[in-house]
């Protein structure tokens, strides 16, 4: 984990409502901290270059690509991973939307897509247009789908979260 002689950095983070304190190597990426230290493997390591979005989590209320941050940069932060969306055994509407509308195929990009859409739908607080959803997920890549069912899943979730009221501004 740490190279010989490398000083460890103590961090405290709140992840999915639970507080954790660990000593981590200064060069450990947040995605590896989440997966390897906390054991929350829903956050995926995709491209390691921030192009694919599979590692997206919510940090302090905003979607971030966790492969672009060192774990120590999250000290004091509140983080939500895909595992933290369900509540009392009930899927979040976005998760439910992906299930109901076949928004995934292999599922590799799905956690990052869901977290990006979670951030987007919580910011717009209304039913967005198809074009707005497509713009929101521009930083997330899917190799399996044509994005049609992903967009359909997001619109389905927005309908449940915010009701009617057409897309657009």
Domains of the chain, residue spans: 9-84, 93-162
Helices 110-124 and 93-100 sit at what angle, rounded to 10 degrees? 130
* Measured distance CA(29)–CA(64) in Å, rounded: 13
Backbone angles phi, psi at 12, to 5 degrees: -130, 125
**Helix axes 148-162 and 93-100, enclosed angle (nearest 10):** 140
pLDDT of residue 145: 85
pLDDT of 164: 61
Contact criterion met (CB below 8 Å) for 42 and 53 = no
Confidence (pLDDT) at 166? 47
What are the distances in angstroms from CA 108 to CA 43, 45, 54, 138, 150?
9, 9, 7, 16, 13
- Residue 146's pLDDT is what? 86
Assigned fold of 93-162: DNA polymerase; domain 1 (1.10.150)
Residue with tokens 């076949």: 102
Per-residue tokens: 169: 């501004």
Residue 88 is predicted with a pLDDT of: 93
Q: CATH says 9-84 is which class?
A: alpha beta
Query: How do residues 2-38 score in pLDDT, each as one tens digit?
Result: 556 689 999 999 999 999 999 999 999 999 999 999 9
Q: What is the DSSP string of the chain?
A: ---TTPPPEEEEEEETTEEEEEEE-TT-BHHHIIIIIS--TTS----SSSSS-TTEEEETTEEEETTSSBGGGGTT-EEE-GGGT-BTTB--HHHHHHHHTT--SS-SSHHHHHHHHHHHHHHH-SPPPHHHHHHHTTT---SS--SHHHHHHHHHHHHHHH-S--S--
Q: Could you list the pLDDT tens digit for every one of the 169 residues in the chain?
A: 455 668 999 999 999 999 999 999 999 999 999 999 999 999 999 887 888 999 999 999 999 999 999 999 999 999 999 999 999 999 999 999 999 999 999 999 999 999 999 999 999 999 999 999 999 999 999 999 889 999 999 999 999 999 865 444 3
């Amino acid at each position: 984990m740490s190279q010989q002689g490398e000083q460890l950095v103590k961090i405290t983070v709140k992840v999915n409502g639970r507080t954790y304190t660990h000593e981590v190597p200064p060069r450990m990426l947040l995605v590896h901290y989440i997966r390897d230290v906390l054991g929350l493997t829903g956050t995926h390591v995709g491209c390691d270059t921030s192009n694919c979005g599979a590692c997206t989590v919510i940090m302090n209320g905003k979607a971030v690509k966790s492969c672009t941050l060192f774990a120590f940069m999250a000290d004091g932060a509140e983080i939500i991973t895909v595992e933290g969306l369900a509540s009392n055994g009930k899927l979040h509407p976005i998760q439910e939307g992906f299930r109901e509308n076949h928004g995934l195929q292999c599922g590799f990009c799905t956690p990052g897509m869901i977290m990006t859409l979670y951030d987007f739908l919580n910011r717009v607080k209304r039913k967005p247009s198809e074009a707005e959803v497509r713009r929101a997920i521009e930083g997330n890549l899917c190799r399996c789908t044509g994005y049609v069912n992903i967009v359909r899943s997001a619109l389905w979730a927005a309908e449940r979260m915010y009701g009617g009221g057409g897309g657009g501004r």
